[in-house]
Every structure is written in C-alpha cells, then in structure tokens.
Amino acid sequence: MLVPQSAALPSPERLVFLLTDEMESDDFPIWEFVWTLNTMAPSASLTDKIRLARHAVSLVVGQYDLWRGDWPGGPVTPLTESEMQTLANNDEPWHDPERATLLVWLRQA
C-alpha cells in the first residue's frame, strides 16, 4: 500500500478497510493500527493516531473478539473486564508492544 507520507489521517472506516485483508488472514495485534498510521501520516500526533485506532477497533468488535496474548505467540484468552479497562485507559498496548503489560489481538469471532 503506497500512501503519500504527507497524507492526513484516514477515517476510522477507511483504516479498517485498509487492514481488512490482514485482519481476516490471521490474528491481528491492535498496535498494527497505529503502526500503519505511522506510515500513512508520520507527522500526526501519537494521541490522534491512538484515538483513531481505538475508534477503528470499536467498529470491528463483534466481528472480531479481543484476546490477551504473548507476543509473538499470539492469543491466549479473551480479555477480562479488568483488562478491558486497562485497554481503555492505557495507551501502550495501542502502540508499544515492547513496554505494554497487556498485549491485545483481534481474532475473528
């Protein structure tokens, strides 16, 4: 996918569309949303990228489930309510899997 680096952030729907093939082919780590945005719009703020990633994931929850896992081993178990709260309040799982204490993956429901 070639996107000009000066491009603005896409809509959440467009971001989901761009990543659909990857999400459907295998379990998909949520940090890949922000990493894709880093390529598409490197000058956009990390805060804006995380906000957009959260919105995009909210669009696909139901079609995809959120799982906690170990990288690179992948999903282990569905997220607990406590982990859902962590995901809602902690930015690291969205962009920094090396420092995040919670690694989250999307898996087709």
Q: What is the pLDDT of residue 78?
A: 94
Residue 68 has pLDDT above 90, yes or no: yes
Q: What angle do CA 53, 59, 15 make, to 5 degrees?
A: 50
Q: What is the pLDDT of residue 62?
A: 94
Q: What is the pLDDT of residue 32?
A: 97
Q: What is the pLDDT of residue 42?
A: 95
What whole-number percentage of the chain has pLDDT above 70? 93
Sign (positive or negative) of CA dihedral 74, 78, 82, 84: positive
Q: What is the mean pLDDT of residues 82-92?
A: 95
The 74-78 sheet, strands edge to edge: 28-29, 104-108, 64-70, 74-78
Q: What is the mean pLDDT of residues 3-32?
A: 88
pTM exceeds cut of 0.75: yes
